[in-house]
Structure 1
């Protein structure tokens, strides 16, 4: 896990208007323009928000994007004053559909979409048309292998098989046939669809397109959550 203080992370994210400074991709990592191999620091003036691809191109061994170029992107990020990407909502009350359950998000709202054994695994916040997405993914052994914090990719280990972001679809795989989480946005209907396989304390909570199935042959189907501050709170114990 990264040791970058959260206030520094937020400053770097806000500076880039919550997207990659180069392309606007909302799934980002924090890059040290001055590598910590040269100087141990968490100075936001020498850090930048980048998507995974541009982060790799800006690495000290990549010889792709120079530090001077990165400083220019810091001054003039892709998202100038308004986040403009495919997870940007036009309505004031976007509807999230998660495994057949509907969760209404209102402006300035924050909602726990899925909580298992007292821990929020999927959380969303929404303000001024901008969706901030947080998630925690564990493997079957109970190890935290991937984490998103307000769209920032802050953990990535060899236990995660792959991560892709293509336009209005975002996926993380546990392995080739095991999707950890998928998020898909339909701009025509202004709806966000999610599904995935969530492990917690060794148990599997499976979110299919139509329902949630968890140990004990328990199921949740077709619920609607509006103005309640939280959605699904499950127990696998």
Structure 2
């Protein structure tokens, strides 16, 4: 039986209930799939004054406003709630980030990668595994684009940003976007990425696990650890170098700061991971 909070002291929905609603709605507006959303009490907060997950849905700001003004009939919202857009399609509607200019910076695990693009086209590739850019900025035809590929432990692509366009799968356990902060979880207290977007030119990743083809990078607030071999990178400030950390084979030559052409695959140091988990979730 779904949990119900009768006569709550505020309109703030408990975190665990928010997560249940996000999972049921496919992490986006049930009408259009937009990954930026607000929580809506289907029966009207003023009418029920309670929090029940089955009575709460996700709506983007436009559809939330339309429902509130009567332009979107409540019956249509209830129908969409029964069959959310993202669960029907398997992925969210795209969302465009507003990155621009010729400057970019990536702060990740106590390391900084940045560039001022002068040539067109150009690229900043902070992390790449086996010719797959996990994180990159490009500059082409006078505009800047953010690229991110996030894989799970099964090597499945679950979230992608391609040239500033965000598309996310409905398969993760939880995806939460609040303001500029995006958090993807595989399970309770098991974060895949915690990223803050700071347009027009910067992103910050303080926690995460970047996975690809048996390689695992653990992101702590002060370091990046390759758990396959224990290699640790901290305090590096790299600017105007096309690539930062390249792991595995790459088909095209590119200037890089740190290269690991060979690492043990699917071998992760248990002690490194346990230490990372205890530190990363100390205040989560």
Superposed displacement of residue 164, structure 1: 2.1
CA shift in 2, pair 1:163/1:127, >3 Å: farther
Superposed displacement of residue 185, structure 1: 4.8
Residues 26-51 of structure 1 show CA distances to partners (whole Å, capped at 9, x for unaligned) of: xxx9xxx9xxxxxxxxxxxxxx9944
State TM-score, norm by structure 1: 0.55
Which structure has greater helix proportion?
A: 2
Over alpha carbons, which structure has the higher Rg?
2
Task: Indicate the residue corresponding to 1:162 in structure 2.
Answer: 174
Superposed displacement of residue 180, structure 1: 1.6
Task: Indicate the residue corresponding to 1:95 in structure 2.
Answer: 105
CA shift in 2, pair 1:126/1:209, >3 Å: farther
Quote the Cα distance in structure 1 between the aligned partners of 2:156 and 2:186: 12
Task: Indicate the residue corresponding to 1:192 in structure 2.
Answer: 203
User: Structure 2 matches for 1:1-237, cutoff 5 A?
Assistant: 50-53=34-37, 57=59, 63-64=76-77, 93-107=103-117, 110-125=123-138, 132-158=145-171, 160-185=172-197, 192-195=203-206, 196-214=208-226, 215-235=228-248, 236-237=263-264
User: Matched residue of 2:116: which SS?
Assistant: coil
Superposed displacement of residue 169, structure 1: 1.6
User: Matched residue of 1:222: which SS?
Assistant: coil
Residues 53-110 of structure 1 show CA distances to partners (whole Å, capped at 9, x for unaligned) of: 39x757xx9825xxxxxxxxxxxxxxxxxx9x8x667x86343211111111325753
> More displaced, 115-124 or 144-153?
144-153
Task: State whether residues 106 and 126 of structure 1, in contact with CA within 8 Å, keep that contact through their aligned partners in structure 2.
Answer: no
State TM-score, norm by structure 2: 0.47
**Gaps in structure 2 of 5+ consecutive residues:** 1-27, 39-57, 64-73, 78-95, 249-262, 265-284
Task: State whether residues 125 and 135 of structure 2, in contact with CA within 8 Å, keep that contact through their aligned partners in structure 1.
Answer: yes
Higher relative contact order, structure no. (Cα contacts within 8 Å, ≥ 6 residues apart): 1
User: Matched residue of 1:63: which SS?
Assistant: helix
Superposed displacement of residue 154, structure 1: 2.9
User: Matched residue of 1:184: which SS?
Assistant: strand
> Could you say what the CA RMSD is over the residues aligned between the two structures, in angstroms?
4.1
Quote the Cα distance in structure 2 between the aligned partners of 1:128 and 1:168: 27
